[in-house]
Structure 1
Amino acid sequence: MGAPAYEPAILLKIILYAYSRGIVSSRKIAQCCRENVIFMALSSDTRSQFTT
């Protein structure tokens, strides 16, 4: 039936931090979650796609 849902609190933390850094593109946020240590910590090292 598809992948399990992402934790809403984690997604909110990522979005708020990204917006505070001036990052509004979902693809750029997804890239940061793969490459940036702070984003990895905020996301608990879960890998979401930019479509999430």
Structure 2
Amino acid sequence: MAISKMFSGVMQYISEAFLRIFGPTDDAYPFIGVQPFTGEPYKKRTADIW
């Protein structure tokens, strides 16, 4: 009895992982495209060189 419950739990764990990996995505990211750069440009300094 305990072996069948353990086997059932392992199979449920593996099948849930499989469905999570290969199932449809549940992302809610907006389709906004590429964002423009609004930061400071990089200035190379002597301290940055190793």
Q: TM-score, normalised by structure 1?
A: 0.30
**Structure of higher CA gyration radius:** 2
User: Normalized per residue, which structure has more helix?
Assistant: 1
Ranked by relative contact order (alpha carbons within 8 Å, sequence separation 6 or more), the top structure is 1
- Normalising by the residue count of structure 2, what TM-score does the alignment of the two structures yield? 0.31
